[in-house]
Each structure stands twice: as structure tokens, then as C-alpha cells.
Amino acid sequence: MNLDVTKANYIINQTDTPKIDGDKKKVAQDFEAIFLRQMLNEIYKSDSEDLKAVRSMQTSNLAELMSASGGLGISRFMLENWRD
């Protein structure tokens, strides 16, 4: 499964999110991707040993794509409430 993160980044950049420092946006998206990866890993916990390696790659790509395209809104919430 090959997910296009570039397209997802384009989509999220087209939303009404105020201009945010790129590093903060990346940190927030990475945090959300980690959260989503953990959640998705729990779903596939009972997979056979043969599927675990494939699922791991799929889960990682899916989590990054979901986060970059808005995900659960965690990264957006973080950015809206970020205090320097």
C-alpha cells in the first residue's frame, strides 16, 4: 500500500488553518501520527506473525497520511493552543 503524503499535505495546507511556523506544524502532525499509529497497531494486534511486518508498514503509512490530512484533529488542536 503506497500512500501519497504529498497529496495529503496539499489538502491540509488548503484548509483554513492560520499560517503556522512549519516546525510547529510538523511536530503537531508527527505527534498525531504517533498517536494514530499506536491506535491502529492495537486494531491489528491479533494478526499472524506473517502479517505483522506488512501491517506495521501499512499502519505507519496510514497514520502519517491520516495525520497530514487532518486526522482526528489533534494536530489542529495543538496548533490552535500552542504557546511559545
Rounded CA-CA distance 81/84 in Å is 10
Q: What share of the chain is helix, strand, coil (3-state, %, to 5)?
A: 70, 0, 30
Condensed to tens digits (0 to 9), the pLDDT of residues 22-78 reads 788 888 889 989 998 888 888 878 778 878 878 888 888 888 888 888 888 888 888
The DSSP code sequence of 21-34 is -HHHHHHHHHHHHH
Query: Considering only CA atoms, which of 59, 56, 72, 67 is closest in space to residue 27?
Result: 67
Is the pLDDT at 1 greater than 70, yes or no? no
Distance CA 81, CA 75 (A): 10
Residue 70: per-residue pLDDT: 81
**pLDDT value at position 20?**
58
Q: Which residue ranges make up each domain of the chain?
A: 19-80
